Amino acid sequence: MGMTSMQRLRDLHRAHGMRALKYASVSVVGIVVTQILLSITLQVLDWTPAWSNFVSVSLASIPAYLLNRQWVWAKSGRHSMRREVLPFWGISLLGLLLSTAVVAFVGRYTEHHLAIRAANIGSFGLLWVGKYLYLDKLMFAHDEDGSEVVVEAVPSDEASTAHGG
């Protein structure tokens, strides 16, 4: 027999605890910031939909990274460019490219601001679950005891051999 929605929510809570709820909360903050910036750039500054989306998403990704890192995955201290900053911006760039393409497409057929905003939110919704899994399992990975897991492309003993070590 199939799982009910409540059973799925309980399983999600068991597997990810408050982290999934915090991630969703950060996503809401990102959506609100992006939508406010979209409103300003579209309606006040009268920018094109694609340029408005580019600027709005780029600026909103700054608080999203900081909130995800510190609040959702409880990371503090120095930011690792290779393991944290660059991968996060890479994911953000993927979302930016997708959302800008969708917004530009919708903008060709309508200038209605609600349609443009819906295109932005819908395109990010497509990537939302995948981004969570990437952040949780790879970028900010932790063992069950809460200690940080360092995910390497090549196991360290092979890496030293590969680099002549």
pLDDT in tens, 56-85: 989 999 999 999 999 988 889 999 888 888
Alpha helices in the chain (DSSP H): 5-39, 49-67, 86-109, 113-134, 156-162
Distance, in Å, from the CA atom of 123 to the CA atom of 105, rounded to the nearest integer, reads 12
Q: 14 — alpha (psi -120 to 50), left (phi > 0) or beta?
A: alpha
User: Which residues partner with 104 through β-bridges?
Assistant: none
User: Which residues partner with 142 through β-bridges?
Assistant: 148
pLDDT of 165 above 50: no
pLDDT of 127: 81
Distance, in Å, from the CA atom of 141 to the CA atom of 147, rounded to the nearest integer, reads 9
Global pTM exceeds 0.75: no
